[in-house]
Structures are given as C-alpha cells and as structure tokens.
Amino acid sequence: MIAIIDYGAGNIFSVRNALNYLGIENQLTDAVSVIEKADKIILPGVGAFPSAMKMLENKNLVSVLKEQAQKKPFLGICLGMQMLLSKSYEFEECDGLDLISGTVDRIPAQDLIIPHMGWNKLEIQNDCELLKNLPDEAYVYFVHSYMATCQEEKNLSAWVEYGGRVPALITDNKYVFGAQFHPEKSGEVGLQILRNFANL
Amino acid sequence: MLAKRIIPCLDVRDGRVVKGVNFQGIKEVGDPVACAAEYNKQGADEIVFYDITASHEGRGVMLDVVRETAKKVFVPLTVGGGIKTVDDIRETLRAGADKVSVNSQAVQNPQLIRDGADIFGSQCICVGIDAKRTKAGNWTVYINGGRIDMELDLLDWVKQIEQLGAGEICLNSIDTDGVKQGFDLPMLKAVVDAVNIPVIASGGAGKLEHFAEAFEKTDCSAALAASLFHFKELTVGEVKTDCRNKHIIVRT
C-alpha cells in the first residue's frame, strides 16, 4: 500500500486517481500509524514551501517522514520534491526535510515565462529505476516557479532545458526520489514512472 | 525546451458535447468523458471543457463530467463556463480540474482573477477572452458568448489580466471563430507581444497548416480547436506530425 500524505496541500486527488487507474493500492492519510505501515510513501504538494512545511510540522509529520524515508521508497512530487532538499528560499529561508542535500531557489531564466508551465523533454543524467521503460523522447508536465539545485551531481537523475538545466528527477540513490514534474498529469510517460515507483 | 501545446476543446451543453459556428446553429454530438479519453489517446497536451450555456443561463459547471474524466485522463484539464466566485473555482479544482478558465465573469469582476490567483496560484487561473476587431482597427472584448461588446480595449484588458495574476490567456477571435480560415494572427501577435504570460490561440483553425502557422508567425504557447477535432476532420496526432515536420517542438 502506498500512503499519499494528505497534509492540506495540493494535488492529492490527481495522484490518487492515477494510482487507482493503475490498480495500485493507496491510502490518503496524515496518520503516523498508516505511514509506518505503508510499503511506500508519496508526498504531493502544490503551493508555497514555507506554508507546506508548516502544515507538515503542525501535523507532526516531519520526523516520521524523515525516518520512514530511510526505510522505504519515498516519492516527492512538485513541491513535495522541493521539500526533500535542505533549504528553500521561496519568500523566506526555510528548512526542508533535508533528505537530499541542496537548495530551492527561483528559476533564474530571465527572458522566459515564469512559471515554467507545460510539457518538457527529460534529459537523462544518471540511470534511475523510475525512468525504466520510457520512450526515447519522454515529455512530462511541469508547473513551477522555483527549482531544486542538488549539491551533488550524483543526486540528479534527469533535467529539462528551460533557460538552463532545470532538475526534473532527483534521488538519494537509496529510497528517496523527487519529481519536479507531475507524473499524475504526464500522460503515459507519467503513468509508467508511477508504475516503476510502485514496482520498486 | 517547452513544447508547443495542442489543445482540443469540448464545448459542453447539458452534459453533451456541442460545437457551433460563430456561436450559432449548434449541433449536438458526443459524450464528453469518452471524447476526452479519445483526445488523450491522440496525444492532446491538455483538454478544455467549456460549458457554453453556463455563463448566460446561470448554470454551474459540470463537475461530474470533470470528476469522471479525471479518473481516466492523465493530462491537465481546464474547465470554463459559469465560474463566478472563488467557491466555484475551489469546487472545480476539487473535482479534478487543474485550471479554471474565467471569461465574462472576469470582465465584470476582475477581482476574481486576483483572488483566484492569490488563493490557488496563478497557474490555475486562465482568463478566456472573446474579442472582435472594431471599425477603428483595434479590438474590443465581448462577454456572454460573444453577445455583448464591453467596449473594453483588448490590449488594455490583457495587460490588466497579467497584473491581476492570471497564469494564462485563452484568446478567441469572434471574427475567425468557426470560419476555418486560420487563427486571427494579427490579434494573436498583438496580445502575445503585450504580455509575458502564455497565450493560447483559439478560433479559426480549419486546416492542418493553421496550427504550425500560428506557432511560426507568433510566439503563442498553444493552439486550441473544437469542431475540427470533434468532427474528426483532423486528429491531434496529425496536427503534431505537421508541426514536427516544420521543426516546431511538440510533445511526442
């Protein structure tokens, strides 16, 4: 069973719809006992970093998520991916879950439209289990104004071009994965990525 | 690089898909959920549901259609028509829409754009515009399905929309809509050049090459069509192949 963390932010229903469509057992939850029992965890998120972190803190989920991420596959999506990092500078300096070393800053693209919204092509940096069985040209759907920067190159699995390299998929190379894009809105490619996660 | 988007629009009345010519002589065909699934299969980058009766008959949006579609179709969904309040936006997003498109309501109450963007994020708020050229040569904004000329200058309006926090503009030309002679390129270019948010071209596509033409001659981010796809004159896949042949980046 995959626990989808329901902390009051964002696109939980889309994620749930996609998992249901794929026949993957899942549960929306903010209960520590369910999170501990789950085989895998998905942390979704839409909105601003500081308020999302505050919501996790208010529900006392920060420590259980950090602990469980050392034990079982854990996928952060969009803001949920950014929250995997050490620190964000969205509005104010704010600590993240620090599961992957790095920071979150505004997309530096100067002459480009922000948010980075639409379909962009994944460029593979390092092989990753979640990228198995994808077509050569794999497009995924993005909506974001801030982006992750990993301290170490080895944590970057895939990026896309948007006024420079924008990290798209990151990993701690153990259990933790973060997708800046929305696999639940990325058509067949996105469904395959979710299937890959479920099969870990 | 971001791909240019091809967006089929499903004009829906009473839960059924329809498409009129110049907003008149509406013919009825099709179940919206099945149509959305078919477009998804063809490679649609996004799907728009537009409740064409809602804005002047005061009906709410078809949330059940959205809910059912969101269970089967995993590309972004936009819903327009009849969205008047922040609560309407919330309800629509909760039903599974990724964006809402506000049109007449935004002209009458621009604060709706700001409130929607503040609460749900700019990326959720698309502003739909119906505009028509005046005798003087500029364009003005119409509401209620192209029935009422608000005598509001189009370029003033799009700048205001951007300021209010809209994430996107869907620009429909009343002059070219349903005429099938191509998008209204002068209007489209004027709007794209006036703002720094994505602009979707709407109204007038009749042939394969009209899509590529819009992307080659303006910096629009997406192109939308309804009847052309709905009556199977073209598929989304054929449009994308033509664009790709002309070196326009589209999602495969």
Taken in order B152, B155, B159, B164, the sign of the CA dihedral is positive
- Indicate the length of chain B as a whole number: 252
CA distance A120 to chain B (A): 5
Residue B220 pLDDT greater than 70, yes or no: yes
Task: State mean pLDDT over B199-215.
Answer: 97
Catalytic residue among B51, B88, B130, B242: B130
| H or E segment to which residue A198 belongs | helix A187-198
Q: How far apart are CA A121 and CA B219, in angstroms?
A: 19
CA distance A171 to chain B (A): 23
pLDDT at B29: 59
**Are B212 and B250 in contact, with CB atoms under 8 Å apart?**
no
Residue A16 pLDDT greater than 90, yes or no: yes
Q: Cβ atoms within 10 A of the Cβ of A56, count?
A: 23
Taken in order A81, A87, A89, A94, the sign of the CA dihedral is positive
pLDDT at B57: 47
Do B123 and A117 lie within an 8 Å CB cutoff? yes
The complex's ipTM?
A: 0.89
CA distance B21 to chain A (A): 30
B32 or A22, higher pLDDT: A22
CA distance B231 to chain A (A): 24
Nearest chain A residue to B195 by CA: give it.
Answer: A113
Q: Cβ atoms within 10 A of the Cβ of A124, count?
A: 15
Please compute Rg for chain B using Cα positions.
Answer: 16
Active site residue A184: yes
Active site residue B88: no
Do B1 and A120 lie within an 8 Å CB cutoff? yes
Give the HSE-up count for residue B186: Cα atoms under 13 Å, Cβ half-sphere.
Answer: 8
Residue B94 pLDDT greater than 90, yes or no: no
Structure tokens at B200: 């979707």
B119 or B5, higher pLDDT: B5
Do B74 and A161 lie within an 8 Å CB cutoff? no
- Find residue B9's DSSP bridge partners: B48
Residue A71 pLDDT greater than 90, yes or no: yes
Residue B49 pLDDT greater than 90, yes or no: yes
Residues 6 or more apart whose CB falls under 8 angstroms from that of B57 comprise none
Structure tokens at B101: 């498109």
Query: What is the biggest distance separating any 2 CA atoms in chain A, rounded to whole angstroms?
Result: 47
Parse chain B into domains and list their residue ranges: 5-245
Residue A123 pLDDT greater than 50, yes or no: yes
Residue A78 pLDDT greater than 70, yes or no: yes
Residue B138 pLDDT greater than 60, yes or no: yes
Residue A45 pLDDT greater than 90, yes or no: no
Structure tokens at A107: 């997309």
Residues 6 or more apart whose CB falls under 8 angstroms from that of B49 comprise B9, B10, B12, B32, B36, B61, B62, B65, B66, B69, B77, B78, B79, B80, B81
Across all residues in chain A, what is the average pLDDT? 94
pLDDT at B16: 81
Q: Cβ atoms within 10 A of the Cβ of A110, count?
A: 7
Q: Is A45 left (phi over 0), alpha (psi -120 to 50) or beta?
A: left
pLDDT at A10: 61
Nearest 10 degrees: CA dihedral of B61, A118, A78, A182? 70
- Within 8 A of B193 by CB-CB distance, chain A residues are none
Task: State mean pLDDT over A91-101.
Answer: 94
Write down the residue that tokens 């326009």 correspond to. Answer: B248
pLDDT at B144: 86
Reference A143, options A127, A166, A126; nearest CA is A166
- Within 8 A of B123 by CB-CB distance, chain A residues are 115, 117, 143
Which of A 49-108 lie inside 8 A of B, CB atoms?
none
Q: Which of A20-34, A81-95, A165-179, B79-93 has the lowest mean pLDDT?
A: B79-93
Query: Who among B5, B121, B196 is closest to A118 (CB)?
Result: B5
CATH no., domain A2-198: 3.40.50.880
Tell me if residue B86 falls in helix, strand or coil. Answer: helix
Active site residue A116: no
Q: How far apart are CA B166 and CA B164, in angstroms?
A: 6
Q: How far apart are CA B52 and CA B247, in angstroms?
A: 35
Reference A14, options A196, A194, A200; nearest CA is A194
Query: Who among A13, A135, A161 is closest to B96 (CB)?
Result: A13
Residue A145 CB burial class (10 angstroms; 0-12, 13-18, ≥19): middle
pLDDT at B23: 45
**Are B34 and B42 in contact, with CB atoms under 8 Å apart?**
no
Do B168 and A117 lie within an 8 Å CB cutoff? yes
CATH topology for B5-245 is TIM Barrel (3.20.20)
Please name the residue ranges forming H helices in chain B.
32-42, 54-57, 63-70, 86-94, 104-108, 111-120, 154-164, 185-194, 209-217, 227-230, 236-245
pLDDT at B24: 47
Parse chain A into domains and list their residue ranges: 2-198
With a pLDDT cut of 90, the percent of chain B lying above it is 70
Do A187 and B72 lie within an 8 Å CB cutoff? no
Residue B128 pLDDT greater than 60, yes or no: yes
Task: State mean pLDDT over A114-135.
Answer: 95
Reference B50, options B70, B29, B65; nearest CA is B65
Residue A158 pLDDT greater than 70, yes or no: yes
